[in-house]
Amino acid sequence: MPFPLFQKKWLQLLFILTETKQPIRFLLISFCFFPLNCCNNKTCVLTIRYFLRKIFYGFTVIWGIVTLVFLLFNVLPDDPARLTLGQRSDLASVENVRKELNLDKPVGMRYLLYLNDLSPVSLHKNIKDNTAKYKPYLSFHIGKNKELLLKNPYLGRSYQSKRLVWDVLSDALPGTIILAFAAIVFATIFGIALGVLAALKKDTWLDTSAILASVAGISAPSFFAGLLIAYIFGYVLSDITGLSMVGSLWEYDTFGGRYLSVKNLILPALTLGIRPLAIITQLTRSSLLDVLSQDYIRTAYAKGLKKYQVIWRHALPNALNPVVTAISGWLAELLAGSFFVEFIFSWKGIGKLTVDSLDKFDFPIVMGAILITATIFVLVNMLTDLLYTKIDPRIKLR
C-alpha cells in the first residue's frame, strides 16, 4: 500500500511549511491534515482521486478558454495602445504603451506573459518595478533577481478608467451573484411547488396549465421576457407595483447617502428565474410521478399513512435528486449568463459592465469578464458533480 510513503511526503511538506515565515502557512497546514486523517480507507482514496480528476478537467477547460480569449483579442484590427491613449496621442506615447502592454514582443512571448499574469502563482524578475501590478502579493525569493509570487490574477487595466480590471470586476461581481441567487431561490421554491401540484393533479386543468406555462417559460428568450416584464410591471403598472424599470441594489439619496433598495431586485430576479422555474417544474412533476408509482409508496399507503405524509416524507425527498442537479447547473448558468437581464434593467453586475465595455471597446474588461464568468461556471459545475455523489448513493466514484 502507498499510504506510508504518501503520509511521509505530507509530513515533509508540513515541516517545511512550519518553518516558513508566511501567514499563509496556517491555511496550507490545515489543508495538509485532510489527507493524513482520511486516506486510510478506500472510499476516501476514491473521493480524492475523483476530486483531482475533476480539478484536472476544470483546469483544462479554463486553459482552453484563456487561450481562445487571448487569440481572439490579439487578432483585432484596433491598436490597444491607441485605444488606451486616444486616437490623437503622439507616437512616442503610443510606443511606450505598446512596450508596457508587451505589444512589441512576438505573439508566442505575449501568450506566455499573459499566462504568467493570470496565474495566481507566477515567476518574475525585478518585481520592484511591477509592485503596482501585483499588489497585494506574497513573495518568495528562489534565486538571484527571481521571485515566486502568490497574487491575484493580473487582468490588465481598463482603457477608459485606467483602473485595474480585477478591481473593476470585483465591484461588479457581488451584484451578479446576488441576482443569480435571488433568481434561483425564486425558481426553486415556486418550481417545486408547481411541480408537486401538477403531479398530484395529473390530467386536470392545473396539470395542463403548469405544463403549458413551463413550455412557454423555456421557449421565451431572456431579452424578450425582460423587455415584456419591464414594460408591464415597471412602466404600465408601476403605480400599482411600486417597481421601476431600472435600478440597482444600492440607491443614493439627495444628500449622497447610500441605502438598500431590495425592490429593484424583484423584476430582474423574476426575469432571470423564469427559465429555471420552468425546468424545475417539469423535472419535479415527472420525477414525482415516477416515484409515486414505486412499490414502497403503495406499501406506505397500505400501512395507513396519510397522503401528505407519503408525499412529503417518502415521495418528494426521493424525487428531488434530478432537481438538485438542475438547480446547481442553472445556478452556474445564471452566474455566467445574466448579461441581457442586467443590461435591460441597468443592474450593476458583470453582465452590464461587459456590454458597456464592448460599446466602448474596453477590451481588457471584456476579456476579464469572460474569464471570471467561465471560471465560476466551471467551479460551480465541479461542486455540483461532487454534491451529486453525496446526494445519490447510486452514483459511484471511479
DSSP 8-state symbol, 345 = T
CA distances from 191 to 8, 53, 263, 373 (A): 51, 33, 22, 26
How far apart, in whole angstroms, are the C-alpha atoms of residue 127 and residue 139? 9
Residues 221-263: tens digit of each pLDDT: 878 888 888 888 888 888 888 888 877 777 777 776 777 778 8
Provide the b/e sequence for 338-355 (b: ≥16 CB within 10 Å): bbbbbbbbebbbbbbbbe
Burial class of residue 253 (count of CB atoms within 10 Å of its CB; 0-12, 13-18, 19+):
exposed
pLDDT at 29: 45
How far apart, in whole angstroms, are the C-alpha atoms of residue 179 and residue 350? 11
The SS3 call for residue 164 is strand
Q: What angle do CA 41, 43, 47 make, to 5 degrees?
A: 120
Q: Are 373 and 303 in contact (CB under 8 A)?
A: no
The alpha helices in 119-273, defined as continuous H runs, are: 131-134, 165-200, 205-219, 222-231, 238-241, 266-272
Protein fold of 165-391: MetI-like fold (1.10.3720)
Q: pTM score, two decimals?
A: 0.75
Provide the b/e sequence for 375-386 (b: ≥16 CB within 10 Å): bbbbebbbebbe
DSSP 8-state symbol, 262 = G
pLDDT at 244: 80
pLDDT at 316: 80
pLDDT at 186: 92
How far apart, in whole angstroms, are the C-alpha atoms of residue 363 and residue 182? 29
pLDDT at 190: 92
How far apart, in whole angstroms, are the C-alpha atoms of residue 62 and residue 55? 10
Residue 136: cis peptide before it, omega within 30 degrees of 0: yes
Residues 281-332: tens digit of each pLDDT: 989 888 888 888 888 878 888 888 787 778 887 788 878 877 877 787 787 7
Backbone phi, psi, residue 125, to 5°: -115, 150
Q: Which helix (H) or strand (E) holds 363?
A: helix 363-391
285: nearest Cα among 191, 190, 188, 388: 191
pLDDT at 130: 60
pLDDT at 245: 80
Domain locations in the chain?
Answer: 1-40, 122-150, 165-391
At 239, the amino acid letter reads D
pLDDT at 375: 87
193: nearest Cα among 267, 284, 132, 109: 284
Per-residue pLDDT of the chain (398 residues; tens, 9 = 90+): 444 444 444 445 444 444 444 444 444 444 444 444 444 466 667 777 777 888 888 889 889 999 998 888 776 666 666 666 666 666 776 677 677 667 777 778 888 888 888 888 777 776 665 656 666 567 777 767 777 777 778 888 887 788 888 889 988 888 888 998 899 999 999 999 998 888 888 888 888 888 888 888 888 887 888 888 888 888 888 888 888 887 777 777 777 677 777 888 889 999 988 988 999 998 988 888 888 888 887 888 888 878 777 888 778 887 887 787 778 778 777 876 688 888 888 888 888 888 888 888 788 898 899 898 888 888 887 877 777 666 655 555 55
